[in-house]
């Protein structure tokens, strides 16, 4: 059977590539630190030696709109074109062609249907930055086949946080049952507190630092009970009008299970808090060493953190 060797959950910031490759005189003050943290995070995936990537993201109204926005959808293609024109123009993200794994997509689709998740599917899916950003940050060679899963975090009515957790658990079951000797890593991106187009968009930090601190603790300690008790659509809206992307991070924790994270790092990036988290479901010596080394380089932790930012739990 397949082995799930790593689960990665992070925020996705479309300006990362542009910010860290700009000439020195044009770089934001955090660019070098941001690059160092991302490169350290990348090593936590490398240590997992994946053969296939299950990628979780959300379409930013590029391919889907209010006339037809699927709740949950899976791609089933041999190849995926990536990057829309506005992402090239505004963010400097290049075009990509990602390899697919149709056999695994079909197996995943049927397995999720069998578990009560009525997924839509697409043979004509184009990928946007919710999936390309983690490719850029943790697998820049883009050399592994992907199974893309899209969720609705933008167009109400939205599924509940509990539904995202349950979907994560179901994805984990399907991965564990896939008849292959290949290693699989699951990578998903979402948001902490985030404001898009609202009055708090360009503050000195994310719009709700307390939500961010609590969210990182809950995720890194696998505390699904606290999440389901405290996180609602209303509370996420109060933390920032685009904070519902946090539900994709709940989904990734669902894949990992209610377990302590093996690597956690973060960066206060004036209008957002960036977060980088890795779980190793069957942690071996190489992975443990990679987490320790990455934490030493990045200033993160090889383990969970408390709500007081940077304190090991």
CB atoms inside a 10 Å sphere around CB 263: 30
Residue 24, number of CB atoms within 10 A of its CB? 7
* 193-221: burial string, b at 16+ Cβ within 10 Å, e else: bbbeeeebeeeeebbbbebbbbbbbbbbb
Q: Specify whether the CB–CB gap between 19 and 137 falls below 8 A.
A: no
Reported as a single tens digit per residue, the pLDDT across 228-285 is 999 999 999 999 999 999 999 999 999 999 999 999 999 998 789 999 999 999 999 9
Distance of CA 309 to the CA centre of its chain: 20
H-type alpha helices, 178-280: 209-220, 224-230, 233-239, 246-256
Ramachandran angles phi, psi of 287, nearest 5°? -70, -40
Nearest to 73 by CA among 7, 128, 149, 178: 149
Q: Which two tokens stand for residue 233?
A: 């659509």
Of the pLDDT bands very low, low, confident and very high (cuts 50, 70, 90), residue 196 is confident
pTM confidence score: 0.96
Which CATH number fits the domain 3-298, given the four candidates 3.40.830.10, 3.30.300.30, 1.10.1370.30, 3.40.50.300?
3.40.830.10
Question: For 90-123, how does the pLDDT look when each residue is reduced to its tens digit (9 = 90+)?
Answer: 999 999 999 999 999 999 999 999 999 999 999 9
Residues whose CB falls within 8 Å of the CB of residue 24, separated by 6 or more in sequence, listed in order: none
Q: Specify burial of residue 308 (Cβ count, 10 A radius: 0-12, 13-18, 19+).
A: exposed
* Cα Rg of the chain (Å, integer): 18
Q: In this predicted model, what pLDDT tens digit does every residue of 166-177 receive, in sequence order?
A: 999 999 999 999
Mean pLDDT over 170-193 rounds to 98
């Amino acid at each position: 059977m397949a082995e799930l060797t790593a689960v990665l959950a992070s925020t996705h910031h479309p300006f990362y590539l542009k910010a860290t490759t700009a000439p020195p005189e044009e770089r934001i003050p955090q660019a070098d630190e941001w690059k160092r943290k991302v490169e350290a995070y990348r090593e936590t995936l490398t240590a997992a030696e994946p053969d296939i990537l299950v990628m979780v993201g959300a379409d930013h109204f590029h391919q889907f709109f209010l006339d037809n926005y699927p709740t949950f959808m899976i791609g089933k293609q041999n190849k995926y074109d990536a990057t829309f024109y506005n992402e090239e123009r505004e963010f400097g993200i290049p075009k990509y062609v990602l390899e697919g794994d149709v056999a695994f997509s079909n197996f995943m689709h049927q397995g999720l249907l069998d578990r009560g998740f009525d997924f839509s599917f697409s043979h004509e899916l184009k990928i946007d930055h919710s999936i390309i950003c983690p490719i850029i940050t943790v697998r820049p060679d883009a050399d592994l086949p992907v199974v893309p899963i899209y969720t609705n975090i933008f167009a109400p009515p939205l599924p509940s946080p509990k539904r995202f957790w349950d979907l994560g658990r179901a994805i984990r079951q399907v991965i564990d049952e896939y008849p292959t000797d290949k290693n699989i890593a699951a990578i998903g991106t979402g948001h902490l507190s985030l404001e898009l187009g609202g009055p708090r968009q360009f503050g000195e930090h994310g719009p709700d630092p307390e939500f961010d601190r609590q969210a990182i603790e809950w995720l890194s300690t696998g505390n699904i009970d606290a999440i389901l008790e405290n996180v609602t659509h209303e509370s996420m809206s109060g933390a920032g009008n685009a904070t519902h992307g946090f539900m994709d991070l709940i989904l990734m924790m669902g894949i990992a299970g209610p377990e302590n994270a093996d690597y956690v790092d973060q960066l206060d990036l004036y209008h957002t808090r960036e977060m980088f988290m890795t779980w190793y479901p069957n942690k071996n010596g190489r992975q443990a060493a990679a987490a320790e080394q990455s934490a030493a380089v990045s200033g993160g932790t090889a383990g969970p953190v408390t709500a007081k930012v940077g304190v090991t739990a």
